[in-house]
Amino acid sequence: MQRIGVFICWCGSNIAATVDVKRVAEAIKAEPGVVYSADYQYMCSENGQQLLKNAIKEHNLTGVVIGSCSPRMHEATFRRAAAEAGLNPYMLEVANIREQCSWIHKDMDEATEKALILIRTAIAKVRLNTPLQEGESPVTKRALVIGGGIAGIQAALDIAEAGFEVDIVEKNATIGGRMAQLDKTFPTLDCSACILTPKMVDCAQSDKIDILSYSEVEEVKGFVGNFKVKIRKKARYVDEKKCTGCKVCMEKCPSKKGLNEFNMNLNNRTAIYIPFAQAIPNVAVIDPEQCIKLKTGKCGICQKFCGAGAINYEMKDEFVDREYGAIVVATGFRPINIDAFNEYGYSDNADVITSLELERLMNAAGPTNGVLLRPSDKTHPKVITFIQCVGSRDVSGCGKPYCSKVCCMYTAKHAMLIREKYPDTEVHVFYIDVRTPGKNYDEFYRRAVEQYGVDYIKGMVGKVYNENGKLMVQGSNLIDNEQVIIPSDLVVLATAIEPEPSVRKIATLLTASIDTNNFMNESHPKLRPVESPTAGVYLAGMCQGPKDIPETVSQASACAAKVIGLLVKDKLKTNPCVAHCNEMMCNGCSQCANVCAYGAITYVDKEFRIGGGKTEVRRVASVNPAVCQGCGACTVTCPSGAMDLSGFSSKQIMSEVEAICKR
Amino acid sequence: MTDLENKIIERAENLLESGEAARVVGWKKGEFYFDPSPAEFDSKEQLRDFVYNGFCGANLSKYLIQVSKKPGKTAVFLKPCDTFSLNQLVKEHRVNRDNIIAIGIECNGKLDIEKIKEKGVSAVTEASETGKEVTVSSLYGKSVMNKEDILLIKCLTCKSKKLVGVDETIVLGEMEEAPSDRFEEVEKLEKMTEAERFAFWKSQLSKCIRCNACRNVCPACSCVKCVFDNPQSGVAAKANDDEFEEQLFHIIRAFHVSGRCTDCGECSRVCPQRIPLHLLNRKFIKDINTCYGEYQAGEAADGKTPLTDYTVGDVEPNDVFNAGVRK
Amino acid sequence: MKICYYPGCTLKTKAKELDAYARKAAEALGVEMEEVKDWQCCGAVYPMAKNEIATKLSAVRALDYAKHNGGKLLTLCSACHNVIKRVNDDMKNDENIRTKANNYLALEESYNGETQVIHYLEMLKNEVSFDEIAKKVVKPLNRKVGAYYGCLLLRPSGVLAFDNPENPSIIEDFIRAIGGTPVIYPFRNECCGAYVSLKNQTLPKERSAKILNSAKEKGAEEVITACPLCLYNLQVNGAGILPARYFTELLAEALGVK
Amino acid sequence: MDKTEMTEIMKEISGTDVRKCMKCGKCSGRCPAYKDMDIKPHQFVTMLEKGKVEELLNCSAIWNCFSCMACVERCPRGVAPAQVIEAVRTTFTRAQNNNGLAAEDIPPIVDELIPQQLLVSAYRKYNK
Amino acid sequence: MQEIKEFVPNIVAFCCNWCSYAGADLAGSGRLSYPANVKIIRVPCSCRVNPMFILKAFQRGADGVILCGCHPGDCHYVTGNYYTRRRMAMLFDFLNYMGIEKERTRVEWVSAAEGARFSQVMNDFVKKITELGENRRITDLRVKEK
C-alpha cells in the first residue's frame, strides 16, 4: 500500500495570495493513498526541508508530492532532501502551482481549483513512480584526437598538459594539416610554419602524446568514457623506428614524377618521400602507386642506400586496438573541386590558380622557393586579379550555399603580401561583399586598400579567357556600373572550402550527425558548440563549420577543457530517466535506432522461452543507459510499446492525462 | 488447371525434391473452389492440394515470420503486392531473408467471392479468366462476368505489378496495371466536410466487432505483443473496460503501421463487416507522398521509413490540412 | 534506323544546304530522317514569359506527332532545337503550361513531355557514335576547325542538357571524328547577337568580329555552326576574318557524299 | 493598371524570384550586349524588386538583350535576369499600340541572305 | 429553472522540459495570464508525446490538445522535434480525415524565452476551442446507441 505525503508551499504570498493553500491541503487528504498533507510558508527553506524529512520518516512515506514553484526551480532541492530522509529521490514529484497557477490567475476559487487538479495529477503520477538509481560507468583516462592539423594539435597539447594521455590519429604521413601549407597568417602576417612547427615538435616530444601518423580510425565501439577504437596503421614501407629522416632515399629514388600533394601538385616528388622539411614524424613513406619496386618488383634502390635499414617492401597494414574515454574530431577541410566553374578557365589555363596554390607559390619552402612566378612560363606576373566567392554562397548546385568565412581575409592577405613584395604589381580583387568581422580584421582589410593600394572592385567575374597570351578577366564593376575587362597575368580563385570528406565515415563510426553540407552537427549551436550530440565526442575546427585559425584554436582548447572535465572523473553518473526495452515485447525492427540521435540503441540476438520447453532466438533492442539522454523519441516509434522511458513512462503520462481530464 | 498453376506446382515439386527447400508456402485447396487458404507443404504428396486460382488473394508474407525460423530453407510464392510486404518485413528484421527462396508469380487481380454472390451466383465450382472476362461455373451452370466487377477491392487499385526483391519469377504473360487511381476514394473523402467525413467513419466503424481479423492478417501488425493485448500499455481492452481502446483501435493501428504499410489491402479483404479499412492506411500513404515525397513501403529492404526520418523544411502540423490535398 | 525529323522554316528556304547535307550524310550513316507531317514553324524564339501559351503550341504539335511516331524528335537548326526542347521541358515540368496547352490542343491523349528531343549532333554521338563515323570517313578534313556553339545549343544548360555550357566538347569530338583538328577558343560559347540584327546593327557586327578573331588567334582556318542565324551573322558581319560553314557540309564532305 | 499591380504581374510572368538576388553582378559581368544595355541585367532584377516599372518599360535594353541566357546560366543564386527582361519586354508589347518593330521599318534593312528565323523571331520578340 | 452554464473547455498542453515548459514558467514570472483551464504536462521532449496520449485525452473529455516544443533546429535532443513535427502532421491530418475538427489539435514551437508568446498561444487556443464548443465527436467515434 502506498503512503503518499503532500506538501503545499505558500511561497510567502506568491502562492498563498491566490491559492487557498489550507483548503487544498485539507481537500487532498481525501485522495486515495494520501496519508499526510501539510502546508508551509517556504518549503524550500531549511525548515521546510526539515518538515519534509521528518514527515517521510514519521509517516513512512513511499511517495511525495510538493505543490510549489516550478520543478525547474527546486525539484533537485526537494529530491535531495527526500534522499537524505531515506526515500528514493525519484519517488518525489513537484506540482507547479506558482508559475503555472498562482502567478497567472487572479480569481482565488479558480486558482485553488486548478492547484487541486495539478496536485491530483502529480499524485496520479507518483503512484506509478518507481525508485530509480543513477547509474555509474568507469572512465578510461585517455583521449583520442582524430586529425593532426592545428585543431588536433592544440587539443592534444592541452589535454596532455593536464596530465592525460592522448593519441593523435592522422591519415597523412605527417601532422600539421592545412596550416602547414600556408605561407603567412592573418591578421598579423606571421609565418605559418614559424608558429605551427614548434607546436608539432611539442607533440612529438610530449611523453603523454602518441602520434599515429599515416593511420585511420577503422571501427569505434562503446560509449562515453569507454570507447573501444580500432586504428589502421597503413603500411608506409619504412620502419618508423629505424628511419632517421636523412633523405638519402629521396635523392636516389628514380621515380620522380609523382605529384607533390603538399605543394598542391604544382611540382613533383619522388616515390619515397617526406612531405616537407619539418614533418612530424620526420620519417619517409613510400607511395605504393608510384614505387617501381612495389609495382614491378624491380628497383630496390632506396633499400640499398638506406643506412638505417629502414625500408621494408613487405610491410602490411597493421591494426591497433585502443581504449579511450573521450574523442575529439578535428578532421579539417579541403578546397572544393572547381571543375564546375569553367567560366573562370581553371582547367584550361595554368595561370588561373586557387588561393591554396598561391600559398605554395608564395611560400619560401614552396616549388618556386617563395618567388612569385606564374606556373605557365615562370615569369613574374605584373597584373594579378583575385576573384572571391568561387563556389561560396552558391545555390545553383555548382558550389556551396554557405560563406566560407576565411576567403575575404586571406585574399586581403595575399593582395597585401604581393604589393609589399612586388610593389610594381597591379592587384585587383573582385568581391561580392567583404566580410571581415573580428579583432583587427577590418583594419587589416582596410590596410590592403589604403596602405597597399589594392584595387577592390565590387562585382563578380563573368568570364576569364585567354587572348594573345593575356588572361582577360571580364566582370562587372557595380559601383561604377560598368563592365570591365582586366588583362591579367595571373588569376587567383578564392575557392570555397568544404569538410574533409573522410568526416562522413568518422561521423558514421561515432554515430554523430552531419548536416547537409557534411559539417558535423554540434549539440547546441549557441550553448554547446564544441560538443557533438554523441556524449564524449567533441568537435574542433573546420569539421564543424568554416572558421579561421584563431577560432579553430579556441575551439580546440574548449574541446580540451571538456575532455579534461570528463577524464578527471573516475566514474560517470548517468541520468536514470532513460529509455529501456522490454525484451519480451520487442520486435527487433530497428525503428527505434533510426530516430536515436545518440546511437544509444543496439540490437542483440537473445534466446527466449516460448513455452512447451522450447526456445527461440529473437533480435531485441538494448539501450545503453550511459549514452541515452532520455528524450523518448524511440518510445513513440515503437509500435509494440516495448520501449518506455523511466520517469516519464507511458502509463505515468496517461495517468496524468486522466487526472487532468477527469471532470 | 492453368499453365501458370502447372508451372508453379512443377517448381514447388522441384524445390522439394531437390532438397533446395525444406518446405513450400502456398495456397491449399479448401472445402470449396473459392476458399483456398495459406498452407505449408513439406512433401510432394502434400502438393496435390496446392492451388493457384483466382481466389488466392491471401498475402503469404506474414507467415514467413514464423516459418523462416524453422530449419532449412522455405520457398514461398508471392504475388507482386505480397513481395512488397516481404521486403518490408526483411527491412524490419522480422524475416530472415537468407532462409527464404522468394518466387514472384504472375497475378492479374484476384476475385471477390462476395461480389460474385451478390450477382446471384453461388456454389461456384470454377472461374476461368480470359482477358477482361471471367467465366464463372457453378453447380447451376455457367455465367460470363466482367472481371472488373468481381475483383477484390484491393486489386481494383493495385499499386504495382513489380516483383521486388524476389529470387526468381514465374510470369507467363504480361501483367496489366490496375485500372484506377488508388487515391481516388481517399480524395473523395477529403473533399467532404468534416461532419460528412465523421458521419461516414461513424457509420463504418460502428460495424466493427473487434474480431481482430484486420490486425491478425496485416503483415505490418506483427508485433510480438500487441499494445491492445498488453495491460501495461494503458490502452489494452478487457471486457467491460472503458471504451477508449475499442473506439480508437483503428486510429492507433493505422498510426502504428504508417510509413510501413505497403498497401496490400488484406485488412479490407478479411474484414467480415466489409469496412473499407484500407482507406485509413491509404490516407497516411497519400499524406506521406504529398508531404515528404513519394514513398512506397517495401520497395527497398533497407533505409529509413518516412516517420523515422525528417528534413529541416518539413510541413508544420498546423499547416498540414491544406498540404495533404492533392492538386 | 528511322527517326522523326523537324527541319523548321529556315532549312526550307535560306539554309537549304544545312538540311540537304544532313540528309545525305544521314543516308550514308544509315539513318532515315522522316519529316514530321504538316509541321509548322516553331516560332524561332522561345517565349520565356510564364503566361505565353499560344506561341508554344506549334512545338507541342510536333512533339506530340513524334511521341506517336517513335518517341524521338530530331532537330538540326539550333533555334528549333532550343525552342522545342524548352517547350518540351515546360510540358513535362510546368503544370500550368501543360494544362493550358493541352486544353488548347484537345489532343486525344494529353501530351506531357514524353518525347525525347535530340539534336543532329547528339544523334551522331549517341545513336551512330563518332567511332562509327570515323570509320566511314573517306576524305578526312585535315585542317584546323573552330567549333562555334553559340548560345542556343548550350543554354539554359539545365533544360538543354546538351553539353558543359562553359567547356563543351561535342563539336570538337565531331571534328576529330571527321579527320580535322579542333581549335578551342574562348568565344565558342558566346552569343553572336544576331537576334537583335533588326534593331541594332552594330552589336552583332562587333560580336561576330570578336568571335572570329578569337578563333583565328587560336589558329582556326574556318568555323562551323549548326545555326542558320549564326552563320548569317558570321558570314555577313564577320566577312574577311574567317569563313563560316555548316557542320553538316563538312560531314558530307568527309563522308564523300557532298 | 497601377504600378504595384504591374510589378506583381511582371514578377509572376518572369518566373524568377527577384528576392534571391545577392547583388553580385555576375550576370552583368557576363553580358555580351552590356555596352548597349542602358539598364544592366543586374539592375533589371533589383529594379523589378523595387517596383521601378516605368523606368524599365522605357529603356532600350529590352531591345538589345540577345536572350542568350549567359546571365541565367551562371547566376549563383538561381535568378534569371533574362527572364525579367523578357517579362518587361512582353509587358511593353502587350499594351495597345506598343510594338518594338514597325512593319515599315523592315524592308530597307532586309538583305538577300537574312534567314527566316530572324524575321519570325523579331516579330515574336518585339511585337504582339 | 436550470442555469445555463457557459462552456469552459478543458485543454491539455504537453510541454517539453527545455523550451516550452520553461516558456510557460516565464509567462508565469511575467504574470502573463492565460485561462485556468489549460493544464500542462511536462515531458522531456515533444517527441515523447505518443499519439495515444492525445487520443486518451480526447477520449477522457479534453476539448483541445496542444503540443509545445523547442523550435525546429533548437531541440535539446538535437532532432527530437523534427520527428514530432512529422508524427503530428500525419496524425492531425488523419484525425481530421476521420472527421475530428482540425482546430482541436495544435503544435506550437515556444522557446524558453517566449513567455509572452506562450501566454498568447494559450489564450488564442482556448478562444478557438471555446468557439468550437464541446468535443463530442471523438468520444463516440464508434457510436454506441445510448
pLDDT tens readout for residues A488-532:
999 999 999 999 999 989 988 887 778 889 999 887 778 889 998
Residues 225-254 of B with CB under 8 A from A: 225-227, 230, 232-234
CB E9 within 8 A of CB E130: yes
- Domain-wise residue ranges, chain A: 4-128, 149-228+317-332+501-567, 248-305, 334-498, 579-646
d(CA A236, CA A249): 14
Number of Cα atoms under 13 Å in the Cβ half of residue B189: 25
Q: What is the pLDDT of residue A453?
A: 96
Question: Cβ–Cβ of A660/E10 closer than 8 Å?
Answer: yes
> CATH code at C31?
1.20.1050
CB B126 within 8 A of CB B29: no
CB-based contacts of A330: which residues, under 8 Å, 6+ apart? A145, A146, A147, A148, A149, A151, A152, A155, A539, A540, A541, A543, A556, A559
d(CA B291, CA B313): 10
d(CA C230, CA A595): 58
For residue range A242-292, what is the model confidence (pLDDT) as tens digits?
999 999 999 999 999 999 999 999 999 999 999 999 999 999 999 999 999
d(CA C40, CA C87): 14
Q: What is the pLDDT of residue E128?
A: 95
In a domain, E6, yes or no: no
Whether C112 and C164 share a structural domain: no
Average pLDDT over residues A75-95: 96
Determine contact: C214 vs chain A, CB below 8 A: yes
Whether C96 and C204 share a structural domain: no
Architecture field, domain A149-228+317-332+501-567 = 3-Layer(bba) Sandwich (3.50)
Q: Extract the C-alpha cell encoding B38.
A: 495459406
For residue range D22-31, what is the model confidence (pLDDT) as tens digits?
999 999 999 9
Domain that holds residue C94: 2-120
> CATH code at E42?
3.40.50
Residue A223 or residue C187, greater confidence: C187
Determine contact: B97 vs chain A, CB below 8 A: no
As for how many domains chain C has, the answer is 2
Q: What is the pLDDT of residue E144?
A: 39
Question: Cβ–Cβ of A587/B94 closer than 8 Å?
Answer: yes
Whether C59 and C23 share a structural domain: yes
Instruction: Decide if pLDDT at C104 tops 80.
Output: yes
Q: Extract the C-alpha cell encoding B221.
A: 501488425
Determine contact: A476 vs chain D, CB below 8 A: yes
Q: What is the pLDDT of residue E91?
A: 96
Q: Which helix (H) or strand (E) holds E105?
A: strand E105-109
Question: What is the average pLDDT value for chain C, to the nearest integer?
Answer: 94
**Please, which residues bridge with residue A362 across strands?**
none
What are the structural domains, with CATH classification, of chain D? Answer: 3-95 (1.10.1060.10), 100-128 (no CATH)
ipTM for the complex?
0.69
In a domain, E16, yes or no: yes
Instruction: Decide if pLDDT at C240 tops 90.
Output: no
Question: What is the average pLDDT value for chain A, to the nearest integer?
Answer: 95
For residue range D54-65, what is the model confidence (pLDDT) as tens digits?
999 999 999 999
Question: Cβ–Cβ of B194/E72 closer than 8 Å?
Answer: no
Amino acid at the residue C56: K
For residue range A166-222, what is the model confidence (pLDDT) as tens digits?
999 999 999 999 999 999 999 999 999 999 999 999 999 999 999 999 999 999 988
Determine contact: A486 vs chain D, CB below 8 A: no
Q: What is the pLDDT of residue B236?
A: 65
In a domain, C42, yes or no: yes
d(CA A442, CA A437): 6
Taking alpha carbons only, the member of D27, A463, D68, D80 closest to residue C152 is D68
d(CA C170, CA C177): 10
- In order of A153, A596, B88, B262, the CA distances from B303 in angstroms are 37, 15, 10, 15
Question: What is the average pLDDT value for chain E, to the nearest integer?
Answer: 89
Question: Cβ–Cβ of C186/A342 closer than 8 Å?
Answer: no
Q: In CATH terms, are A149-228+317-332+501-567 and A334-498 the same topology?
A: yes
Taking alpha carbons only, the member of B33, C99, D74, D66 closest to residue A476 is D74
As for how many domains chain E has, the answer is 1
CB A278 within 8 A of CB A286: no
Q: Extract the C-alpha cell encoding B97.
A: 531473408
- Smallest CA–CA distance, residue A481 to chain D, in Å, is 8
Task: Please say which residue of C89, C120, C151 terminates a domain.
Answer: C120
Beta pairing, strands E11-16 & C244-246: unpaired
Torsion angles phi and psi, residue B304, rounded to 5: -85, 155
d(CA E79, CA A118): 30
Torsion angles phi and psi, residue E41, rounded to 5: -110, 130
> CATH code at C239?
3.40.50.11810
Question: Cβ–Cβ of C49/D13 closer than 8 Å?
Answer: yes
Instruction: Decide if pLDDT at E2 tops 70.
Output: no
Q: What is the pLDDT of residue B241?
A: 46
**Please, which residues bridge with residue A226 across strands?**
A223
The CATH H-level (homologous superfamily) assignment of domain A334-498 is FAD/NAD(P)-binding domain (3.50.50.60)
Collect the ranges in chain B with pLDDT lower than 70.
Answer: 236-247, 322-327
Residue E75's pLDDT band, with cuts at 50, 70 and 90, is confident
Average pLDDT over residues D34-39: 96
Amino acid at the residue A210: D
Question: Cβ–Cβ of D25/A478 closer than 8 Å?
Answer: yes
Question: Cβ–Cβ of D101/C199 closer than 8 Å?
Answer: yes
Whether C116 and C142 share a structural domain: no
**Local structure of residue A44 (DSSP, 8 states):** T
Q: Which helix (H) or strand (E) holds B104?
A: strand B100-105
List of chain E residues whose C-beta atoms are within 8 Å of the C-beta of residue A513: 78-79
Determine contact: E106 vs chain B, CB below 8 A: yes
Whether C141 and C213 share a structural domain: yes
CATH of domain A4-128: 3.40.50
- Domain-wise residue ranges, chain B: 1-110+151-179, 123-150, 181-327
Torsion angles phi and psi, residue C167, rounded to 5: -145, 65
Interface test with D, best of A402, A476, A484 (most D CBs within 10 A): A476
In a domain, C80, yes or no: yes
Q: What is the pLDDT of residue A524?
A: 76
For residue range A309-335, what is the model confidence (pLDDT) as tens digits?
999 999 999 999 999 999 999 999 999
For residue range E80-100, what is the model confidence (pLDDT) as tens digits?
999 999 999 999 999 999 888
In a domain, E2, yes or no: no
Average pLDDT over residues A65-79: 95
**Local structure of residue A102 (DSSP, 8 states):** I
Average pLDDT over residues A324-347: 95
> What CATH number does domain A579-646 carry, 3.40.50.300, 3.30.70.3270, 3.30.830.10, 3.30.70.1350?
3.30.70.3270
Instruction: Decide if pLDDT at A573 tops 90.
Output: no
How much is the pTM? 0.75
Q: Extract the C-alpha cell encoding A252.
A: 636516389
d(CA B28, CA B53): 10
Taking alpha carbons only, the member of B118, B94, B115 closest to residue A587 is B94
d(CA C153, CA C165): 9
Domain that holds residue E20: 11-140
Question: Cβ–Cβ of D14/C50 closer than 8 Å?
Answer: yes
- In order of A371, D14, D52, D54, D64, the CA distances from D5 in angstroms are 61, 14, 12, 12, 26
List of chain A residues whose C-beta atoms are within 8 Å of the C-beta of residue D75: 396
Task: Please say which residue of C69, C88, C120 terminates a domain.
Answer: C120
Whether C116 and C140 share a structural domain: no
Q: What is the pLDDT of residue D117?
A: 84
In a domain, C105, yes or no: yes
